[in-house]
């Protein structure tokens, strides 16, 4: 990846009609260029290749149907080894035919299968019904007295052969209606029957054990077999209507037992046959789908590529002779040779008589921004671009972000233990990245974490380093080098006695007593501070000063980076009128603060620590230009401070008026400027000639005062507009310096929060397990540790990690990047088949 974005050029491609398709196919495989739309006023239905695109969409529709059927049959779609290229137009018809044939076959088979299943269901229901009404008849015949209606009739035990026709002999026309109804409707059905027929019907019902699927709705319900006996035709009709109303499936009720047995036999054989046929149909369907699934993936890719190529062809314009397609593309200058070679390849494949060629044309439009990146830098690139894609040829903050972002994160997160857990997690993701890339699971959260695996790895490594500096590992300090503080010395020097121990709750180790403090700890904070009551007081002072120092350094670096932009865009005046006042303002005020911090650290030792003054008071007094009551830090301090304040205050009007006045002077010029103007114009002409090789033009968004206009004459210069712009910039910068420096104090705040959370977790969870002194204490320690680990991961790693990530990102986006980065560019989006999304993948079908 580069320091700034790549140089781009506008090129015209002259593609011969015959080989245009192949050339664009080759370009799509390589992903070199971005096409521009040459027919913006034409609607998508009036474009040239609309019928081809319609054909592609038809094929996609059939493919979608095919994939859904394959998914229903639970078959896997194997991926092709080598992704196929877009098919030549002459092969397209063949694919189309195959797909259409498949569609017809599949729909036929599916229809047949449904019909067969419906039949099977009916026969099954009929069987159940017969079986269950059989038990009704028999159980009914066992009951002598079933109510007043049956008293007149003789018992049916001896006449079971003749069955119910004996009823007719008695002149009563007993009719039966039998069928199945859904269980949920049975009570309502019964009540309706009773109300309508008023006791002239008898309903008996029993539940079917097997739940049957309702083919219309596809649900699986419990059904109930019912048998209604009634007499009278009118009642019969009413009952029929009610049954229709409740969507019952009615089947003819057999008169005699023999008939019933015959029907059941025939049903059994028919069911058996049907099941056989259904099995065969399903097998056949599976076979067809299996065969189709082998080529399904490559068809999908081919259709996708073809459709994309036709879209691009629609963007091109035809020249007068209609033999040649003209396309305008943005191409990186370094890739022009590749582009030529690809076009030659495409022409060769398309058997063109005249090869296609490239012609570079000058342009005044701003080209898109391209920054090449590899798998390591792409993560950092994307977090910079989330703020804004850089302007064309602007210095990119991304290379520095690789180091500064994990570092600022680690300052807020610094814990050795948590850092190492994070590093191991990231390492696992990095080492198994090939597997994960292949599998491509759909979970959004996981994809986000996986794409940022290198960022997480860097953050973890830097956190281990800052954990060593803060000497914090799961809230405990590590004593690697031996503490520099000695308690024994307080006793040997007779400062403390046994009496002191007994009468005081808190004791203070005095470093002025010899032997107590033997020099600074080699790396990081001394481990004794972990046990000190005034630990936070000490660490707060250290961390706050460190945050301000890091902040001022980071911001100055940002201001310095703007020099590179000014130099590149040949705007040297900006260095004197923008960069210098900005830097002076920042350094005279806050650079001096940093200097005072370092001076106080170095100049005051343990002996005179009582006399060390408050830096903040001195800083405030500097602005008020007051004679401070305290003694000066160093001789000549008052004079130096006055000088610095004056320089800083003077740089504000320079920043405010410098650029607008300079540009006003440029455009309107004084009498001495005649020569200058000619000089400027000739420079302008020279520049125009070379403009096709230069990459000047951008920042025109901000600067309309570029003295190098194409027409050679001075452009309209609006002083008010420029001045307002500059005033806003000045106020933003000066106030921003103060607020941004304070904003860096979040480095202190978050690291304090993290350390305290970590300590609380240890004290409230782990300590409970460790302090158990009974025998059972061991067993208690095991679940306590699991809880500790779970809470560490969820609260300290995930929550605090995300929080520190967000704050570090904010510090980069706002405090660092607003010093030099404008981020208002357009990203280069090359025509590349691998970058095109697939409709089927989004639906989860592939």
Partner 1 sequence: MPSLLFCGPKLAACGIVLSIWGVIMLSMLGIFFSAKSAVLIEDVPFTEEDIRDDKNPPQTIYGLYNQVGINCFIAASIYVGVGALSLCQVRLNKRQEYMVT
Shortest CB 778 distance to partner 1, Å: 5
Asked whether position 61 contacts partner 1 by CB under 8 A, the answer is no
Is 115 or 767 the residue whose CB approaches partner 1 more closely? 767
Identify the burial level of 342 via C-beta atoms within 10 angstroms of its C-beta, where 0-12 means exposed, 13-18 middle and 19 or more buried. buried
Task: Give burial (CB, 10 Å; 0-12/13-18/19+) of 425.
Answer: middle
Nearer to partner 1, 711 or 774 (CB): 774
Collect all residues with Cβ–Cβ distance below 8 Å to 132 and sequence separation of at least 6: 206, 208, 225
Closest CA to 692 of 31, 228, 11: 11
Does 479 engage in binding with partner 1 (CB under 8 A)? Answer: yes
Q: Which stretch binds partner 1 (CB under 8 A): 16-24, 296-304, 469-477, 492-500?
A: 469-477
Q: Should residue 505 be labelled a site residue for partner 1 when binding is judged by CB under 8 A?
A: no
The smaller minimum CB distance to partner 1, of residues 474 and 805, is found at 474
Near partner 1 by CB under 8 A: residue from 145, 505, 506, 531: 531
Residue 430 touching partner 1 (CB under 8 A) = no
Dihedral sign of CA atoms 739, 744, 748, 751 in order: positive
Q: Find tokens 């020249």 and name the residue.
A: 319
Per-residue interface string for the shown chain with partner 1, residues 766-785, x marking contact by CB under 8 A: xx--xxxx---xxx-xx--x
Give least dist CB 77 to partner 1, A: 14
527 binds partner 1 (CB under 8 A): yes
Residue 789 touches partner 1, criterion: CB under 8 A? yes
Quick one: DSSP state of residue 816?
I
Member of 133, 229, 293, 477 binding partner 1 (CB under 8 A): 477
- Are residues 146 and 134 in contact, defined by beta-carbon separation less than 8 angstroms? no
Query: Is residue 476 a contact point for partner 1 (CB under 8 A)?
Result: yes
Q: How far apart are CA 221 and CA 348, in angstroms?
A: 65
Separation in Å, CA 73 to CA 37, 78, 284:
43, 15, 12
CB of 527 to partner 1, least distance (A): 6
Tell me the window of 107-115, 645-653, 764-772, 804-812 that interacts with partner 1 (CB under 8 A).
764-772
Distance of alpha carbon 256 from alpha carbon 162, whole angstroms: 6
Least separation in angstroms between CB 488 and partner 1: 13
Q: How far is the CB of 437 from partner 1 (least distance, A)?
A: 19
Residue pair 644/585 in contact (Cβ under 8 Å)? The answer is: no
Q: Which helix (H) or strand (E) holds 586?
A: helix 580-586
If the CB atoms of residues 308 and 421 are measured against partner 1, the closer one turns out to be 421
Nearer to partner 1, 269 or 773 (CB): 773
Segment contacting partner 1 by CB under 8 A, of 191-199, 269-277, 473-481, 517-525 = 473-481
Distance CA 390, CA 403 (A): 19
Q: Smaller CB distance to partner 1: residue 269 or 774? A: 774
Closer of 82 and 445 to partner 1 (Cβ): 445
Question: Which residue carries 């980065």 as its tokens?
Answer: 821
Q: d(Cα 315, Cα 33) in Å, to the nearest integer?
A: 14
| Long-range contact pairs involving 656-661 (C-beta distance under 8 Å, separation at least 24) | 656/726, 656/727, 656/730, 657/726, 658/576, 658/577, 658/578, 658/581, 659/573, 659/574, 659/577, 659/578, 659/722, 659/726, 660/719, 660/722, 660/723, 660/726
CB-count exposure of residue 592 (10 Å: 0-12, 13-18, 19+): buried
Q: Which stretch binds partner 1 (CB under 8 A): 96-104, 187-195, 470-478, 586-594?
A: 470-478
Site size for partner 1, by CB under 8 A?
Answer: 23
Pairing outcome for strands 34-35 and 324-332: antiparallel
Give the per-residue contact string, 368-407, with partner 1 (x = CB under 8 A; - = no).
----------------------------------------
Of residues 484 and 772, the one with the C-beta less far from partner 1 = 772
Nearer to partner 1, 170 or 789 (CB): 789
Q: In angstroms, what is the minimal distance from the CB of 767 to partner 1?
A: 5
- The pair of structure tokens assigned to 814 is 């706002």
Closest CA to 239 of 228, 249, 247: 228
Q: Is residue 530 near partner 1 by the rule CB under 8 A?
A: yes
Q: Please say which residue, 793 or 814, places its beta carbon nearer to partner 1.
A: 793
Structure tokens at 476: 């405990």
**Does 761 participate in binding partner 1 (rule CB under 8 A)?**
no
Q: How far is the CB of 530 from partner 1 (least distance, A)?
A: 5
Q: Which residues bind partner 1 (CB under 8 A)?
A: 421, 474, 476-477, 479, 527, 530-531, 763, 766-767, 770-773, 777-779, 781-782, 785-786, 789
């Amino acid at each position: 990846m580069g320091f700034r974005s790549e140089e781009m050029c506008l090129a015209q491609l002259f593609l011969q009609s015959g080989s245009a398709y192949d050339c664009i196919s080759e370009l799509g495989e390589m992903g070199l260029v971005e096409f521009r739309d040459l027919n913006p006023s034409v609607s998508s239905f009036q474009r040239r290749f609309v019928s081809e695109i319609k054909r592609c969409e038809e094929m996609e529709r059939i493919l979608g149907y095919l994939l859904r059927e394959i998914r229903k049959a639970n078959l896997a779609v194997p991926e092709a080894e080598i992704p196929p290229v877009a098919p030549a137009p002459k092969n397209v018809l063949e694919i189309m035919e195959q797909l259409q044939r498949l569609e017809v076959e599949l729909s036929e088979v599916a229809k047949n299968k449904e019909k067969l299943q419906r039949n099977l269901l009916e026969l099954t229901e009929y069987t159940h019904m017969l079986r269950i009404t059989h038990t009704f008849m028999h159980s009914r015949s066992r009951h002598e007295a079933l109510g007043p209606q049956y008293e007149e009739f003789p018992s049916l035990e001896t006449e079971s052969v003749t069955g119910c026709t004996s009823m007719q002999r008695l002149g009563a026309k007993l009719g039966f209606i039998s069928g199945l109804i859904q269980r949920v409707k049975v009570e309502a059905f019964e009540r309706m029957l009773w109300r309508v027929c008023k006791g002239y019907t008898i309903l008996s019902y029993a539940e079917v054990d097997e739940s049957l699927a309702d083919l219309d709705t596809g649900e699986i319900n419990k059904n109930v077999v019912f048998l209604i006996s009634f007499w009278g035709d009118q009642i019969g009709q009413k009952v029929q209507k009610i049954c229709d109303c409740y969507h019952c499936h009615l089947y003819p009720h057999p008169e005699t037992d023999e008939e019933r047995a015959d029907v059941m036999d025939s049903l059994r054989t028919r069911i058996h046959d049907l099941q056989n046929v259904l099995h065969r149909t399903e097998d056949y369907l599976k076979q067809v789908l299996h065969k189709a699934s082998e080529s399904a993936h490559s068809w999908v890719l081919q259709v996708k590529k073809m459709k994309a190529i036709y879209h691009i062809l629609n963007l091109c314009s035809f020249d007068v002779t209609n033999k040649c397609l003209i396309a305008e593309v943005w191409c990186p200058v370094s890739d022009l040779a590749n582009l030529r070679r690809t076009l030659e390849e495409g022409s060769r494949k398309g058997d063109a008589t005249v090869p296609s060629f490239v012609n570079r044309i000058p342009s005044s439009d701003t080209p898109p921004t391209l920054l090449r990146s590899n798998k390591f830098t792409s993560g950092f690139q994307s977090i910079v671009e989330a703020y804004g894609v850089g302007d064309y040829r602007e210095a990119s903050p991304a290379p520095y972000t690789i180091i500064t972002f994990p570092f600022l994160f680690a300052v807020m997160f610094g814990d050795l233990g948590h850092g190492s857990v994070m590093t191991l997690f990231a390492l696992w993701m990095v080492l198994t990245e090939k597997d994960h890339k292949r599998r491509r699971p759909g979970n959004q959260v996981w994809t986000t974490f996986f794409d940022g695996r290198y960022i997480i790895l860097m953050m973890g490594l830097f956190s281990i380093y800052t954990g060593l500096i803060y000497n914090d590992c799961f809230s405990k300090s590590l004593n690697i080098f031996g503490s520099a503080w000695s308690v024994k010395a307080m006793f040997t020097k007779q400062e403390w006695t046994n009496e002191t121990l007994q009468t005081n709750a808190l004791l203070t180790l005095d470093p002025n007593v010899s032997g107590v403090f033997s020099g600074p700890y080699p790396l990081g904070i001394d481990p004794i501070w972990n046990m000190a009551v005034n630990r936070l007081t000490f660490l707060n002072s250290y961390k706050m000063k460190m945050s301000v120092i890091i902040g001022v350094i980071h911001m100055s670096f940002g201001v310095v980076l703007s020099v590179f932009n000014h130099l590149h865009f040949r705007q040297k005046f900006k260095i004197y009128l923008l960069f210098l006042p900005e830097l002076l303002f920042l350094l005279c005020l806050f650079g001096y603060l940093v200097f005072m911090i370092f001076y106080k650290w170095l100049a005051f030792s343990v002996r005179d620590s009582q006399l060390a003054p408050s830096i903040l008071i001195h800083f405030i007094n500097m602005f008020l230009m007051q004679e401070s009551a305290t003694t000066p830090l160093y001789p000549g301090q008052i004079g130096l401070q006055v000088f610095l304040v004056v320089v800083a205050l003077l740089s504000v009007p320079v920043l405010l008026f410098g650029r607008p006045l300079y540009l006003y002077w440029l455009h309107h010029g004084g009498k001495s400027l005649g020569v200058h103007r000619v000089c400027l114009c000739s420079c302008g002409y020279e520049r125009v000639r070379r403009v096709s090789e230069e990459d000047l033009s951008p920042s025109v968004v901000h600067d309309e005062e570029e003295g190098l206009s194409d027409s050679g004459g001075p452009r309209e210069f609006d002083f008010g507009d420029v001045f307002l712009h500059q005033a806003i910039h000045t106020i933003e910068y000066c106030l921003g310096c103060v607020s941004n420096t304070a904003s860096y104090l979040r480095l202190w705040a978050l690291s304090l929060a993290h350390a305290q959370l970590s300590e609380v977790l240890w004290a409230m969870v782990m300590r409970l397990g460790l302090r158990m002194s009974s025998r059972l204490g061991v067993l208690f320690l095991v679940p306590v540790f699991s809880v500790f680990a779970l809470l560490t991961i969820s609260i300290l790693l995930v929550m605090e990690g995300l929080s520190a990530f967000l704050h570090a990102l904010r510090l980069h986006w706002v405090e660092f990047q607003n010093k030099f980065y404008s981020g208002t560019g357009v990203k280069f989006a090359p025509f590349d088949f691998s970058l095109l999304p697939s409709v089927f993948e989004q639906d989860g079908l592939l």
